[in-house]
A = this chain, B = another copy of it.
Amino acid sequence: MSTEFELIEIFQHIGAEYYKDNGIITGPGDDCAIFDLSTPIVTSVDSSVSDTHFPSNASPADIGYRAVAVALSDIAAMGCKPIAFSLSVSSSITNESWYIKLADGIKDIAKEFQISLIGGDLTKGPLNLNVTVFGTPYSGKILMRNNAQTGDYICISSAVGRAKKGLDDWVNNKKDSEYLTDYLRPLPKIELGKDIVNFASASIDTSDGLMADLEKMLKASNRGGLINLDDIPITSDINDINSGDDYDLCFTMPKEKFNNKFFKIGEVTEDLGIKLISNKGYDVVIKGYEHF
């Protein structure tokens, strides 16, 4: 069995090659990490708990990748560039190779987004990964969820329900399903955030389900929405609008800026609440995902 310090060493230098580009003047190894940027810093934290956020028998590489990916999704929603993350692992696993594989998954995503691990800790306990992410604006603007304007188009960038289908297929051992990756290694929409930050009025990531998150964004903006269910690209059925874990961005934008790269699913209204319409006869109610 490895010591705490040997296990920490496995993670110590992940993304160290990006310290300078990311404004990190001290990485892991002191009491604190140090950023020195002259820009604002955005930060968010996400816990991934075994059997709540991922199946306990998922591969450690996927568990690691996913824990960082879902946290980065919050940076995407702000239209920002990810720079760093810290990782706290609570685990009772004593097998060193499990940690090496966990680190491999984390290295994959660190490389993909050129981000640096700047700290963390490792404690004995039930499996729980806690990731704090840090980002900085691409240009001057940071995208918030509270600025949707009446008449704006409400958009998403991809079909809802892909992650749910991926999890179902994974549980049912459909190993060649194209959806597995959507659940196990979701792509944080950093590029999308970078694209829309300059013209979108508001944005949120769809972690709890499209409708639940749209509702939060509209509420924060003191607006409502008229949603045409027929316009929502779905994977399995219309209930996909309530399924979580897609990690797309749901965003609002002035009509005149709209282009067909995105799916327009509705419009922002002065009236509060979300009104669903459908010519196809879809009948569905909005449900949020409660982690608790």
Set B42, B47, B133, B220: member contacting A130, Cβ < 8 A: B47
Q: How far is the CA of A79 from the CA of B17 in the complex (A)?
A: 27
User: Which of chain B's residues have a CB closer than 8 A to the CB of A3?
Assistant: 290, 292
Q: How far is the CA of A194 from the CA of B276 in the complex (A)?
A: 57
| Binary flags per residue of A26-55, CB closer than 8 Å to B gives 1, else 0 | 100111111110101111111101101100
**Of A70-78, A155-163, A169-177, the one touching chain B:** A70-78
Whole-angstrom distance from the CB of A220 to the nearest CB of chain B? 7
| Binary flags per residue of A78-91, CB closer than 8 Å to B gives 1, else 0 | 10100000101010
Q: Is the CB of B42 within 8 A of A4?
A: no
Tell me, yes or no, whether A196 is within 8 Å of chain B by CB. no
Say whether chain A's binding surface is mostly helix, strand, loop, or mixed.
strand
Q: With A88-B130, A90-B128, A124-B291 known to touch, is A40 a contact of B47 (CB < 8 Å)?
A: no
Q: Is the CB of B86 within 8 A of A52?
A: no
Q: How far is the CA of A12 from the CA of B205 in the complex (A)?
A: 20
User: Which of chain B's residues have a CB closer than 8 A to the CB of A47?
Assistant: 88, 90, 121, 123, 125, 130
Tally of chain A residues near chain B (CB < 8 A): 61
Q: Is the CB of A52 within 8 A of B88?
A: no
Tell me, yes or no, whether A145 is within 8 Å of chain B by CB. yes
Which of A70-119 touch B at CB < 8 Å?
Answer: 73-75, 77-78, 80, 86, 88, 90, 118-119
Tell me, yes or no, whether A187 is within 8 Å of chain B by CB. no
Q: With A53-B123, A124-B49, A125-B126 known to touch, is A44 a contact of B40 (CB < 8 Å)?
A: no
Q: List, sorted by A's number, 28 A–B pairs whose CB atoms are closer than 8 Å.
A: A7-B292, A25-B40, A26-B144, A30-B220, A31-B74, A31-B75, A31-B204, A32-B44, A32-B75, A32-B80, A32-B135, A33-B42, A35-B41, A36-B40, A45-B88, A45-B130, A45-B132, A46-B88, A46-B121, A47-B125, A47-B130, A49-B123, A49-B125, A121-B291, A123-B292, A125-B126, A125-B128, A126-B126
